[in-house]
Amino acid sequence: MSNMGAKTLLSHSLRIAWKDLMELFRNRLGLVLLIVMPLFMMVMVGFIYPSNGGGLSDMPVALVNEDAGFGNSVLPSQVFLMGLQQINDQTHMLVLSNASSMADVKDMVQRGELQGGIIIPSNFSSSIMNGEQGTLIIVTDQSNPQISATIQAALSAVFNEMGTMLAQQNVQMLSPTINATNSLAVVKPYNVQTEGVVLGTPSYFDFIAPGIMAMTVMMSVMTGLPVAISQEKEIGTMDGMMVAPINRLSIILGKTLGQTARGLIQGVIILALAVGLFGVTIQGSILLVFGLLLLGVFAFVGLGIVITSFTKDQETAQMLMMTLMFPMMFLSGVFFPIQQMPWYMQSISQVLPLTYASQALRKVMVLGAGIPAISTELIVLIVFGVVMIAIAVPVFRRAMTR
Amino acid sequence: MENESIIEVQNLTKTFGKFTAVDNISFTVKKGEVFGLLGPNGAGKSTTLRMLSTLARPTKGTATIGGYDIVKHDTEVRKLIGIVSEKMIMYNRLTAKENLWFFGSLFNIPKDVLTKRVDELLELVQLTKWKNAQVGTFSTGMRQRMNVVRALLNMPRVLFLDEPTLGLDPQSSVEIREFIKKLNRENGTTVVITTHMMVDADLLCDRIAIVDQGKIVALDTSANLKKIISGADTKILNLNIANLTSELIETIRKLHCTDSVTQENSTTLKILVHGDEAFDSVIDAIRKKNGKISSMENLQPTLEDVFLHITGHQVRDSADQKIQNEKHGPFAQQQRRIR
Ligand SMILES: Nc1ncnc2c1ncn2[C@@H]1O[C@H](COP(=O)(O)OP(=O)(O)OP(=O)(O)O)[C@@H](O)[C@H]1O
Ligand SMILES: [Mg+2]
């Protein structure tokens, strides 16, 4: 009997879900928005935030070489210029051009043609050859503080390289038996090498794609559900379902299935966009990714039903959706790592289930984690989902026959 | 058998906060009857219907349909009833057929039976031609016919209709009325219909409950209700006065025999009077004020008159009152300003 009951409950739910999806697919504009929304989200957050390496590149910078030279030996200014060229070829931070004087450079910076300049003064080589410090002058666009930092970083890398090369030469001169590798070890005994868990450098898209997926899918049940139900209440079609001799739970279950399908469709679109357009790679199992999305839905269903029970009309539902969505978006580490937030904000994010969902999804997608590595997140999501559903079912039953 | 009741309502009450929408009403509806709830806007008709069709929970009181309690055995009740509610129960983006299919599939009707029934119902209201068109493209009349047959998917023994002719042109109204009559005659379906239109009630209903401010103020057949007026020795006069003035109206209103005066247009008055000398008094009063009576008619009472006689106000009056009383609702403020 209870088996029969469960079967009819499910069959009614599927009918309702089918009906919802039919309506969705007949709504052309709605379908377009379904695709455009995640695309916008990816494009906006993906391109606004600087990716790794500071983000700035191809800044127009002028070189002014006023060096008067020193005898006819190889000039330090030439060594510097070669080094700079070499490093820039690798990083493409700067676009180098030549200018005749510092005044010229300042002029061009003001007109916005340049973002900075490097001036080698006339006494540069002679100072170094005489055992004094060589000084370089950097002209920067003060309206953009990041530029001066970037130019300085480029320069210090060049000097570092030059210094090492010089020291290596000196060591080899002192003891000719030493080879190049060993001489390097004498000069720079310590070296740091960063080694990620997976190959390659993850981009910012790799970071946000799992979060946005988790958020979209979960929002569809948490806020899409109240909107979908209050809409039917408002236009009156809910009565048509309510007068049918069906279990009230099949209405909410059907709606949930419909919204879940909708959320998953969006999730897949985001994933496809992320992989196809933004070069995101999935390190872990794609099945686990979908499993996690479904678990996220489960975790949020109860909350969605509770909100549904308390919202009377669509307007309230929509407003509530905005109110909940923004803090969730920013506090759950979807866009920034939560470790960057102050501690009190971090403790809020610790109680938001979206934090765990996006964290787990990120571990799987970026780090290729398996189930054992995300067991904490799984447990939190399951417990949260079960507790919320236990609260939601009686609340919903009471709310439906007011 | 004839008098077997199918709906029994006892002290049914519904309050919204402090406001009592349905106030302690009791009545029974006999099997195979067409029962009307007649009353002005805000009388509590829809609320009563919603409680009977298990869509709203009564604050107090009970009701049974086919012996099943509307609260305790709501699922059983739902199997017996169909409801045509004030709002259209249709999804605009689904076709006529899909809509009926969807709602029918919630009733555990076997697939082949349902398919046949959907086709039959569409044929019944001449919508077969449009069965694959989205309901959103339908005219009001077509939509209302859809709305009515939707309620018939489970072949209900009791059909509730909430203002089924609202917003329809006279032609479509007649069609819907004929359809309901036919359903009642041929299938023996018990019908409970709410309306604020006297014609609907007069033409359709075996018995009518007149509802005002949440209470049933009278309940009988249309003919018997009208006898309330004749029995009370009340007559209805339709007076045509060429030089009608407000002063004249006031004079008539103040007469001893006058129950009420309604101005129909610039020259016509409808007067409810009582007593043997009523006619003479009215005519004398008008003559004295130099009123020129161009015609005078003794009208047969209508349900409107019955309502006026019983409640002391017109159906239209209390419709206005509702707007004033309504402190809730998004339009309350606006309506008050418009007035
Ligand atoms: N959900 C509700 N919350 C608060 N008040 C309500 C609610 N539903 C109805 N009412 C009030 O109860 C009263 C009766 O409403 P109801 O809809 O039953 O009237 P009605 O007789 O059907 O009128 P109409 O002819 O306008 O349909 C109205 O004053 C209405 O404002
Ligand atoms: Mg109504």
Question: Can you give chain B as a three-state secondary structure string?
Answer: CCCCEEEEEEEEEEEECCEEEEEEEEEEEECCCEEEEECCCCCCHHHHHHHHCCCCCCCEEEEEECCEECCCCHHHHHHHEEEECCCCCCCCCCEHHHHHHHHHHCCCCCHHHHHHHHHHHHHHCCCHHHCCCEHHHCCHHHHHHHHHHHCCCCCCCEEEEECCCCCCCHHHHHHHHHHHHHHHHHHCCEEEEEECCHHHHHHHCCEEEEEECCEEEEEECHHHHHHHHHHCCEEEEEEEECCCCHHHHHHHHHCCCEEEEEECCCCEEEEEEECCCHHHHHHHHHHHCCCCEEEEEEECCCHHHHHHHHHCCCHHHHHHHHHHHCCCCCCHHHHHHHC
Regions of chain B short of the pLDDT cut 70? 1-2, 314-339
Name the DSSP class of A75. P
Q: Do A23 and B94 touch (CB under 8 A)?
A: yes
User: Is the same domain home to A258 and A358?
Assistant: yes
User: Is the same domain home to A77 and A164?
Assistant: yes
Question: Among candidates B183, B198, B149, B162, which has minimal Cα distance to B51?
Answer: B162
Q: Is B206 in the pocket of ligand 1 (CB under 6 A)?
A: no
User: Is the same domain home to B102 and B210?
Assistant: yes
Domain end (from A127, A158, A187): A187
Backbone angles phi, psi at A202, to 5 degrees: -65, 140
User: Is the same domain home to B182 and B293?
Assistant: no
- Is A193 within the bounds of a domain? no
Distance of alpha carbon A302 from alpha carbon A386, whole angstroms = 8
- Is B306 within the bounds of a domain? no
- Is B232 within the bounds of a domain? yes
A15: pLDDT strictly greater than 70: yes
Angle, helices B111-124 vs B96-105, to 10°: value is 140
State the average pLDDT over residues A86-97: 80
- Is A253 within the bounds of a domain? yes
User: Is the same domain home to A251 and A174?
Assistant: no
User: Is the same domain home to A226 and A179?
Assistant: no
Chain B residues with CB under 8 Å of A402 CB are: 56-57
- Is A74 within the bounds of a domain? yes
Q: Kindly report the CATH number assigned to the domain that includes residue A155.
A: 3.40.190
User: Is the same domain home to A45 and A90?
Assistant: no
- Is A176 within the bounds of a domain? yes
User: Is the same domain home to B94 and B53?
Assistant: yes
Domain end (from B220, B245, B276): B220
Q: Where is pLDDT greater, at A347 or A326?
A: A347
Do B153 and B117 form a contact (C-beta atoms < 8 A)? Answer: yes
Q: Whose CA is nearest to atom 25 of ligand 1?
A: B41
Q: What is the pLDDT of residue B151?
A: 94
- Is A198 within the bounds of a domain? no
pLDDT in tens, A30-55: 888 888 887 887 777 767 665 544 45
User: Is the same domain home to B230 and B206?
Assistant: no
Q: What is the pLDDT of residue A198?
A: 63
User: Is the same domain home to B279 and B173?
Assistant: no
Q: Kindly report the CATH number assigned to the domain that includes residue B119.
A: 3.40.50.300
User: Is the same domain home to A105 and A42?
Assistant: no
Domain, as residue range, for A92: 59-187
B54 in contact with chain A, both atoms CB, cutoff 8 A: yes
- Is B108 within the bounds of a domain? yes
Q: What is the pLDDT of residue B326?
A: 42
Q: What is the pLDDT of residue B149?
A: 92
Question: Among candidates A297, A262, A289, A286, which has minimal Cα distance to A381?
Answer: A297
Do A130 and A96 form a contact (C-beta atoms < 8 A)? Answer: no
Domain end (from A127, A155, A187): A187
Probe residue for ligand 1, chosen from B12, B18, B46, B318 as the CB with the greatest number of ligand atoms within 8 Å = B46
- Is A127 within the bounds of a domain? yes
Q: Do B94 and A242 touch (CB under 8 A)?
A: no
User: Is the same domain home to A249 and A284?
Assistant: yes
- Is B192 within the bounds of a domain? yes
User: Is the same domain home to B24 and B107?
Assistant: yes
Chain B residues with CB under 8 Å of A19 CB are: 91, 94, 98, 102
Lowest mean pLDDT among A1-15, A157-171, B248-262: A157-171
Domain end (from A131, A152, A187): A187
A86: pLDDT strictly greater than 90: no
**ipTM of this predicted structure:** 0.79
Q: What is the pLDDT of residue A21?
A: 92
State the average pLDDT over residues A79-91: 80
User: Is the same domain home to B27 and B151?
Assistant: yes
User: Is the same domain home to B167 and B214?
Assistant: yes
B57 in contact with chain A, both atoms CB, cutoff 8 A: yes
Domain end (from B194, B220, B246): B220
- Is B290 within the bounds of a domain? yes
State the average pLDDT over residues A223-240: 88
Domain, as residue range, for B184: 5-220
- Is B313 within the bounds of a domain? no
User: Is the same domain home to A288 and A376?
Assistant: yes
Tokens for A381, please give them. Answer: 């999501």
User: Is the same domain home to B74 and B144?
Assistant: yes
Q: What is the pLDDT of residue A55?
A: 52
Q: Kindly report the CATH number assigned to the domain that includes residue B241.
A: 3.30.70.100
User: Is the same domain home to A380 and A282?
Assistant: yes
Domain end (from B171, B204, B220): B220
User: Is the same domain home to B105 and B191?
Assistant: yes
Give chain A's length. 402
From the number of C-beta atoms within 10 Å of its C-beta (0-12, 13-18, 19+), residue B9 rates as buried
Number of structural domains chain B divides into: 2
State the average pLDDT over residues A145-154: 73
Q: Which pLDDT band holds residue A402 (cuts at 50, 70, 90)? A: low
A105: pLDDT strictly greater than 50: yes
Helix (H, G, I), strand (E, B) or coil at A60: strand
Question: Among candidates A393, A225, A369, which has minimal Cα distance to A311?
Answer: A225
User: Is the same domain home to A343 and A213?
Assistant: yes
B286-294 CB contacts, 8 Å cutoff, 24+ apart: B286/B239, B286/B241, B286/B248, B286/B251, B286/B252, B289/B245, B289/B247, B289/B248, B289/B251, B290/B243, B291/B241, B291/B243, B291/B244, B291/B248, B292/B241, B292/B242, B292/B243, B293/B239, B293/B240, B293/B241, B294/B240, B294/B241, B294/B242, B294/B267
Distance of alpha carbon B269 from alpha carbon B284, whole angstroms = 16
User: Is the same domain home to A47 and A69?
Assistant: no
Chain A residues with CB under 8 Å of B78 CB are: 243-245
DSSP string for residues in A109-154: HHTTS-SEEEEE-TTHHHHHHTTSPP--EEEE-TT-HHHHHHHHHH
Name the DSSP class of A74. P
Name the DSSP class of A372. G
Ligand 2 geometric centre to CA of B155 (Å)? 24
E strands, A2-121, in order: 59-65, 94-98, 116-120
Q: Which pLDDT band holds residue A195 (cuts at 50, 70, 90)? A: low
User: Is the same domain home to B14 and B41?
Assistant: yes
User: Is the same domain home to A229 and A360?
Assistant: yes
From the number of C-beta atoms within 10 Å of its C-beta (0-12, 13-18, 19+), residue A199 rates as exposed
Q: What is the pLDDT of residue B102?
A: 95
Q: Do A23 and B98 touch (CB under 8 A)?
A: no
Q: Is B318 in the pocket of ligand 1 (CB under 6 A)?
A: no
- Is A197 within the bounds of a domain? no
Q: Which pLDDT band holds residue A284 (cuts at 50, 70, 90)? A: confident
- Is A18 within the bounds of a domain? yes
Q: Is B16 in the pocket of ligand 1 (CB under 6 A)?
A: yes
Q: Where is pLDDT greater, at B220 or A162?
A: B220
State the average pLDDT over residues A270-283: 84
Tokens 């009926």 locate to B100
Do A354 and A380 form a contact (C-beta atoms < 8 A)? Answer: no
User: Is the same domain home to B102 and B13?
Assistant: yes
Q: Rounded to 5 degrees, what angle do the CA atoms A319, A325, A331 make?
A: 145
Number of structural domains chain A divides into: 2
